[in-house]
Amino acid sequence: MEVYNHDLVILGTGLAGLRAALEAAQQSKGELDIALVSKLQLMRAHSVAAEGGTAAVMRQDEGDSYELHAWDTVKGSDFLADQNVVDFFVHEMPGEILHLDHWGIPWSRMEDGRIAQRPFGGHTFPRAVFAADKTGFLEMQTLYDTLMKHTKNINRYDEGFVTSILIENNRFAGLTMIDMIHGRQVLIRGKALIIATGGAGQIFGFTTYSETVTGDGLAMSYRAGLPLKDMEFIQFHPTGLIPSGILMTEACRGEGGTLLNSNGERFMGNYAPSKMELAPRDMVSRSEMTEIEAGRGFPGPEGLDYIHLDLRHLGRERILERLPLIREVTIKHIGLDPIEKPIPIRPVAHYTMGGVHTDIKGHTSIENVWAAGEVACVSLHGANRLGANSTAECLVWGRVVGEEAARYCANASAAEMPKTAGQEWAKIEALIQSKGTEDHYQIRKELRKNLDASMGVFRTGEQMQAGLDKIRELKERYKYISLKDKSLRYNTDLERAIETGFMIDVAEVAILGALTRTESRGGHARRDYKVRDDDNWLKHTMAHFTSGGPRLDYSPVDISMWKPVERKY
């Protein structure tokens, strides 16, 4: 086993991870020894797939305000967001837009040269700053380019598959990692850890997520003793391309795209007349499924009935200027030009509102561990995230945790050499040598199909109980898997097997939390408990790892600004 020592270890190199690295490097004037660890090549993080925009208050002279952005976020969350967190976020975010501007991002501009903004669902002001429909990619590229000014003390571990986070004596002690390039067992140690590994969308079959988004950081944190918060709240984006699930950005509707059923009706007037297609995502997704279930959809492959996203009236020039990626994707993947024909779409699993529990500064319950981005739950999004608030969250808390962890490292020493690293490698060796009869690829396939069936846009206790029973059956079968590839170098068979174990743990937490929460709130819509129940459920779910499965308890929601009211649009 090779051992590498650094000051700050950052696990994950998406928007949150790169922003944290940049802030830590700048805070320390380049003196901090930083490790960037990713199972991918650096610019392949799923953040590059974010398309539509990043929310920030940039037009106070035209009617926007911090209070309005905060209210939109709290109301959109169905009042489960922590309001002190929301207030902090909206005040911090404009600075991040200007930082990126100064670092050279090519924001889309208005004719007078000001940074352009477009409408997004649930926002009462068009505050989504954007770069055509490639916002996440260009934000990532800008952060990466700027970080390269600090290469002296930036150490990259690309294509390093991390298998465990080691916590000993309430301190981060190291990461066990398979160096996929060279086929080596590695231990990475540091004075502090930032977890920025993203979400877990691949637990669903129909999803916008890359194949690599398998909840690794969530599962490893959970196994290491960090509680997961609010994991029952999974967001379904209203516009996933049929049949692949590729995201058709909310910017399509922000630019004026409409949703049509099989009768050619613009049906959102029946569900959210004041917002129409720009209602919050949970409401639009439920409206679409109601139309489909009522027989007003189009028949699709493998039961994926759909409706239409119509951009034709926007005109060729506007589509080419504002939505070039959408046109490229639909032409390449389904041979359809949205200038000429409507796009087939339906709700698709898109975002994990829950995550590793942190405080307002991204600090976990472990002394020297922080988390940021989608893997974390600082409680900004509550039960439903507003579009354009996720890339914004990554930027704000990437900066915050980078600053906090850098300050900690300046006065700290590394933990002692972890005693449990050998145990983790023994588990990997046992898996490689296993002669079990179960196929982990089949287990993954059944898991994803099960989540689609039991944890969809609408849920019932009966469905979720069946789903939980199935997950526990798969969890038992997983003990008897085997591998065909017995090597370490680029062993994707081993990587997929370990990922599937992570996915099972995350799925179990999510579905147990959802089954236990006997109400409907935001993205958690139960047909057997149709109303929001603030008397009993205005609280965060906290899931703790035990050998017998998740143990749930609850924590209060900060409602320091607005008391919950009925959510109408």
Which tens digits make up the pLDDT trace of 427-481?
Answer: 999 999 999 999 999 999 999 999 999 999 999 999 999 999 999 999 999 999 9
What value does the mean pLDDT take over residues 124-142?
Answer: 95
* Percentage of residues in the chain having pLDDT higher than 70: 100
Residue 507 pLDDT > 90, yes or no? yes
Predicted confidence band of residue 42 (pLDDT cuts 50, 70, 90) = confident
Q: Known catalytic residue: 237?
A: yes
Residue 516 is encoded by which pair of tokens? 């236990």
DSSP state of 543: E
* Percentage of residues in the chain having pLDDT higher than 90: 94
What value does the mean pLDDT take over residues 15-44?
Answer: 94
Cβ-proximal residues to 535 (8 Å cutoff; 6+ apart), any chain: none
For position 91, what pLDDT does the model report?
Answer: 98
- Single out the catalytic residue among 123, 127, 150, 237: 237
How far lies 375's CA from each of 12, 382, 481, in Å? 10, 14, 27
- pLDDT tens digits for range 292-344: 999 999 999 988 999 999 999 999 999 999 999 999 999 999 999 999 999 99
Residue 432 is encoded by which pair of tokens? 């490689």
Predicted confidence band of residue 58 (pLDDT cuts 50, 70, 90) = very high
Q: Are strands 184-189 and 2-5 parallel, antiparallel or unpaired?
A: parallel
- Single out the catalytic residue among 253, 308, 363, 521: 253
Q: Known catalytic residue: 184?
A: no
Residue 151 pLDDT > 90, yes or no? no
Which residue in the block uniquely carries the two structure tokens 């209210």?
Answer: 71
Predicted confidence band of residue 419 (pLDDT cuts 50, 70, 90) = confident
The model carries a pTM of: 0.95
Residue 415 pLDDT > 90, yes or no? no
104-143 as b/e, with b when 16 or more CB fall inside 10 Å?
Answer: ebebbeeeeeebbbbbbbbbbbbbbbbbbbbbbbbbbbbb
Predicted confidence band of residue 152 (pLDDT cuts 50, 70, 90) = confident
Residue 135 is encoded by which pair of tokens? 């916002």
Predicted confidence band of residue 356 (pLDDT cuts 50, 70, 90) = very high
Quick one: 300 exposed, middle or buried, by C-beta within 10 A (0-12, 13-18, 19+)?
Answer: middle
- pLDDT tens digits for range 83-103: 999 999 999 999 999 999 999
What value does the mean pLDDT take over residues 101-106?
Answer: 97
464-478 as b/e, with b when 16 or more CB fall inside 10 Å?
Answer: beebbebbeebbebb
